[in-house]
Structure 1
Amino acid sequence: MQLQAGLTNRVYRLEAERGTFFLRLPGAETQERVDRAVEAGNIEVAAALDLALPPVFCRQDTGILITRAVEVIDGRPPDFPTELGTLIGRLHGSNTRFSGSLDLPAIVQSYRQLLSSKPDFAAELAALDGLLDTLIAQEELLSSQLLVPSHCDLSPGNCLSTPDGVRLIDWEFSAMADPAWDLAYAILEHGFSQDQEDAFLEAYRFGRPSCDCPSRRHLDFMKAGCDAVSALWAFEQVMRGRDRNAFMPFARERRERALTRLRPE
């Protein structure tokens, strides 16, 4: 049994008589924010599209999940942005429907209420007040966007490069969402250069030819939203007693990047 990398869940690679598997044991901090019934249903939909690893065992009450393992290529192939863009285009353009929806203003408000109740985080949160107000005020704009089935957590650890192409794991936060969320989050979390971002978006358009790609302005707005949520998430980890030296610099870096991208008027 070999422990895999992960920030919130414990994931193990298991060698057994019937094959090799991934075992996911969810972290306690995910219990309040993850609907396991929604996750299980969305995994089934994504697996039918050949985008997710089909579950072998799934316990909705505990979040324990077992899938067959895949061979993961070390490092990223040069065409990774193109592969990922095509994959996300297929997901968003699949005309399928996920359970649940990602509501950015509601997420921001939830984190804000939680953290503002802790005096130690008052100063950290104050720097974000203007940006959070701007994000919450955009509820009408965001709610008017066409929602598509989305992964919602396209961090590097959840995008596996395999001999058969990219496969996505960890569908905990999957939902119907503004397509700009997956695009912005992937660009930020993978640290794409401008050339890589352009290749990623071009492949996305190719994978979803019947629909428009979000505008550059809308994508930049969502990048700020993604960074703000990432900062709030990291502040919450510190609040819950996780490694301050690891999560506080991450939170502050994401906060400052969001602020430089979207200054409140």
Structure 2
Amino acid sequence: MSVSYYDLVAQEREQKEDLSDTEFWDSLMSGVYGQRAGDAKLIIDAEDSEKGCGKTGLAVFLAKILSGVFDYDFSEEDMTLSGAEYLRRVREHPGEEQPSVIILDELAGAGAGHAYREMSGQNVELGNWWQLMRKKRIVTLATVPHWGKVSKSMRREAEYRLHCLKEPIGYFKAYEVTTSFAEGDIRTRGLDDERIGFPDMPSRNDRHYNYLDERKDRLLASATTDADALHEDEQPKRVDPEEIREDERKKTRVEIAQSMRNTGLSGREVADIIDCSHTWVYENTVNPDA
């Protein structure tokens, strides 16, 4: 039996503000359940890129709150540490009839969404999926040391930035992500005049938080900096977008189209979403049920 949002809030009320009584919550719910009935991408960072400000704890807290509201069975598989792992989980999630939640912890880790790898293959695929995920209705909670470390294309696709404060710990400020009308510059607009509180998940011995924390500890103890097995001594290199060959871009698009068809979408539905002809979709993908 899933726990309702209001039951969870009641458990926190003695020391935390009521999340449901915030402009941020109203905006988020409107996007998921309103006329748009879409997804949401939230980037969680910290003041001065400080460690220990509760980014992962906030992500886990919101994931559990949202799962209760959505009546979604949040599991350990929904807590990912790499771009590849995240994309696999996206493909496994329900369609537009069921809102769901995924955590992508350490979004900028070793290239997964990193600003210095703006046009790397994984970044392009992540950015494209963030453009096309409306039909999935997934709320993504991505953590990163600082907002500026995320690639510009992914920041543009995000709906919210949640900025964890270093003093006092256990509070965040919510911002809506917008773009300027003329140039498409990325801007943020503050929501709520007051900071918003969240519980200390480690001190509560929360099993989801502990699971994700243990995975990060194992990763730090390994020879890599990322669950995608990128080596620690590999330095991020900025690549000129013009250096990406057309066939590589096409391959990424084909992979995305095929992934969408694998979720049960028809060729015409995929064509409408990625803005191409249905003929192109049918020529470059296969029907998984055939």
TM-score normalised according to structure 2 size: 0.25
Which structure has greater helix proportion? 1
TM-score normalised according to structure 1 size: 0.27
Higher Rg of the two aligned structures: 2
